[in-house]
Chains A and B, each alone.
Chain A
């Protein structure tokens, strides 16, 4: 009876005494013990399965989160994650007195690459550009693929708008180095728009829109140009 009470509080290792007589009392005691062993084994198995499933779910949740916040092709953060990081950086503006900048990068004539060399080569180019952007950035900076052939860069800490433009020009030069495209090595150019905060921008949307406007201005000026948002209209 005591053994069964132990089982009731999930102590399945409790055992009843079985005498060498092997009579009916011993048979009942052995039966109780057998049930305890089976319960113990089943309980351990269930616990192991729950632990396995929990671990699997953790991996899947992690992967789902990664997919939700990253671009599948390039592995870079997507616009959702970039917006989050930019909003966070903007919220720190009161405590961190340095400037920060958003660069919108657009590959010039990317459609031509896709049309002439095919989408596979175009995809490879996007991957290479993403890797190159990542390799040029400093610790603390971040990048993202916004859409199609457009990338975003957040420079976490820049001394001035001019310094941001210098960093953007350095990135522009790095992206101009040749790429393997199909059987050839070819160069590309990128147009960049740079918006520097925190002054003048209340939200991430506004800052990215400013970088976009500056990039549009860069396109107007010709391939491979970098333009500061604050310069628009001056030239």
Chain B
């Protein structure tokens, strides 16, 4: 396992997402609105998470409330990386993002506990249970 990034540099910006490590130990991922997530985007997001946490398992808050669809390879990649996340809370807003989140949970069957939320505070409350 690597070392987590220090707080001053603990934010990664990608053309499709932004990710940072919060003081409460939860990693937050925000997708750019209407982004279509491909396999490469999934890899980039997972790499970013590994950099932020040094490879340690942490809870992840995914703000996808107005994100676009993901393709199957992206869903599969996210689902199988239970080694990096202790739990995932997905914030959905639009009917599309809710569908994407529900499908991911029901069909891709992620290895880590994963739930869909409408509001951030409920999501954070749930994720706190998975912080060390």
Taking beta carbons and an 8 Å cutoff, which residues of A are in contact with B?
Answer: 18, 20-24, 26-28, 30-31, 33-34, 37-38, 41
Within the assembled complex, what's the spacing in Å between the Cα atoms of A190 and B97?
85
Kindly identify, within residues 27 to 70 of chain B, every residue whose CB is under 8 Å from any CB belonging to chain A: 33-34, 36, 66-69
Contact B95 A24 (CB under 8 A): yes
Contact A30 B94 (CB under 8 A): no
Kindly name the residue among B94, B95, B107 whose own CB sees the greatest number of chain A CB atoms within 10 A. Answer: B95
A-B interface, 4 closest residue pairs, ranked by CB to CB distance from nearest:
A22-B94, A22-B96, A20-B34, A27-B95
Q: Which of A20, A22, A24, A34 contacts B103 (CB 8 A)?
A: A34
CB contacts (< 8 Å) of A21 on chain B: these are 94
Contact B96 A23 (CB under 8 A): yes
Kindly name the residue among B67, B68, B98 whose own CB sees the greatest number of chain A CB atoms within 10 A. Answer: B68
Kindly name the residue among B36, B96, B100 whose own CB sees the greatest number of chain A CB atoms within 10 A. Answer: B96
Contact B98 A27 (CB under 8 A): yes
**24 residue pairs from A and B, CB less than 8 Å apart:** A18-B36, A18-B69, A21-B94, A22-B66, A22-B68, A22-B94, A22-B96, A23-B94, A23-B96, A27-B94, A27-B99, A28-B99, A30-B96, A30-B99, A31-B99, A33-B69, A34-B69, A34-B72, A34-B99, A34-B103, A34-B107, A37-B71, A37-B72, A38-B107
CB contacts (< 8 Å) of A20 on chain B: these are 33-34, 68
Contact B72 A22 (CB under 8 A): no
Within the assembled complex, what's the spacing in Å between the Cα atoms of A27 and B100?
8
Within the assembled complex, what's the spacing in Å between the Cα atoms of A34 and B66?
18
Contact B72 A26 (CB under 8 A): no
Within the assembled complex, what's the spacing in Å between the Cα atoms of A30 and B95?
10
CB contacts (< 8 Å) of B94 on chain A: these are 21-23, 26-27
Within the assembled complex, what's the spacing in Å between the Cα atoms of A37 and B100?
13
Within the assembled complex, what's the spacing in Å between the Cα atoms of A27 and B102?
11
Contact A30 B34 (CB under 8 A): no
CB contacts (< 8 Å) of B100 on chain A: these are 30
0/1 string, B103-118, CB within 8 A of A gives 1? 1000100000000000
Contact A41 B99 (CB under 8 A): no
Contact of A22 with B107 at beta-carbon distance under 8 Å, contacts A27-B96, A30-B69, A34-B69 already known: no
Closest chain-B Cβ to A228's Cβ sits at a distance in Å of 75
Within the assembled complex, what's the spacing in Å between the Cα atoms of A178 and B43?
69
Within the assembled complex, what's the spacing in Å between the Cα atoms of A34 and B71?
7
Closest chain-B Cβ to A42's Cβ sits at a distance in Å of 11
Q: Which residue of A lies closest to B76 (CB)?
A: A41
CB contacts (< 8 Å) of A28 on chain B: these are 99
Within the assembled complex, what's the spacing in Å between the Cα atoms of A141 and B72?
60
Kindly identify, within residues 76 to 100 of chain B, every residue whose CB is under 8 Å from any CB belonging to chain A: 94-100
Within the assembled complex, what's the spacing in Å between the Cα atoms of A41 and B100?
18
Q: Which of B33, B95, B103, B107 contacts A26 (CB 8 A)?
A: B95
Within the assembled complex, what's the spacing in Å between the Cα atoms of A196 and B71?
75
Within the assembled complex, what's the spacing in Å between the Cα atoms of A20 and B34?
5
0/1 string, B8-21, CB within 8 A of A gives 1? 00000000000000
